[in-house]
Amino acid sequence: MFQEEENGSPSVTAEKGLPNVNKYKPLITLFVCTTISLVFMKTGILSLFYLVPLGYVIMATGVYMPIFITAASANIAIAIFQYFFKINHIGSMPLEVLYQTSVFLGFAWIMGGKGLRTVYRFVIASSVSAIFFLVFVNSPSSGFFEMFAKTAEDLFGSGSEISIKNPLFAQTFSPDVLTEFAKMFIIRGGAVISMFFVFFINRQIAFSLASTARRRRIDSGLTAFYAPANTIWAFSGAIASIVLTGIFKAEVLSILAWNVFIICAIIFLAQGGGILTYWMSLRTNVLRLIISVLIIVVLFSPLNSFAIAALILLGIIDNWRPFRVAKSVQ
């Protein structure tokens, strides 16, 4: 998830490049990848992967600012066109553009930034993009939560009760209550989780494509990831702050504490996932396949919450009782 070289430089440099990419002119490569990215962003389910082409071209060229500027400029031009011609326009155009620009910049920096651990770039980029997302969805012209409420009503019917099939949330909710829960969840870490997920998925796919092009693995993924040493103290402080702010009804501080807690939990989840992938690497191919299938089944079962909590706990314990033989500095 956060693998990089010790000096903080990208895993793929401009000097080495990627086969089948450097033979084309850089401007053509940039134009093609930017176009694909923007098409994905505007195309249904493919919108989840719209950052992959940008990540790939950053790895191909070894630079990220020109890619960011090109993608952000093209997105601004498209947003202005959609605004004036009333094409699929939702909410405030300036706020939407600011949010998308923050996502482009954050992802480009994660892929090509130097001098700072990738995990810190993930945290900073996800937090900043989450702030812009919260401003956008909570703006009066956004209509985000109105659409959420309407979708809940269309799915479950107005005023009906919905049973949540999860052992940690075995309650019944109405569409209105679900909307309020969504607001609470998004502002208390949900936005940060979403940005982490988007950046992680797109980065991993970009690395996979680059590995295929180079015909060798260029990223060890979670296996070599270790949480920063002070994460456990931030995690403990966040838990204490959540309890105290709940007692004294300090809403703003509670929101900040929850977001810090979520960020630390994600980092420990990555460390727990690294331990799991390390253990799997020691097994035979058949056993790894069986374990992978079991993991997928558990994640899509009512036990998914317990599985995630177990990985987080595993990552925390790894701070005192290392489960991997050798640590590698990232």
Question: Domain limits of the chain?
Answer: 1-137+191-219, 221-330
- Whole-angstrom Cα distance, residue 238 to residue 261? 5
β-strand partners of 173? 162
Per DSSP, the residues of 206-268 read HHHHHHHHHTS----GGGG----TTHHHHHHHHHHHHHHHHHHT-HHHHHHHHHHHHHHHHHH
Average pLDDT over residues 21-34: 71
Query: Looking at per-residue confidence, does 172 or 185 come out higher?
Result: 185
Specify the pLDDT at position 189: 93
Average pLDDT over residues 142-154: 73
Query: Of the given ranges (51-65, 162-176, 213-227, 229-243), which has the lowest mean pLDDT?
Result: 162-176
Specify the pLDDT at position 119: 93
Backbone angles phi, psi at 162, to 5 degrees: -115, 125
Q: At 195, is the pLDDT very low, low, confident or very high (cuts 50, 70, 90)?
A: very high
Q: At 170, is the pLDDT very low, low, confident or very high (cuts 50, 70, 90)?
A: very low
Specify the pLDDT at position 168: 47
Q: At 263, is the pLDDT very low, low, confident or very high (cuts 50, 70, 90)?
A: very high
Instruction: Tell me if the pTM is above 0.85.
Output: no
* Token pair listed for 307: 């599985």
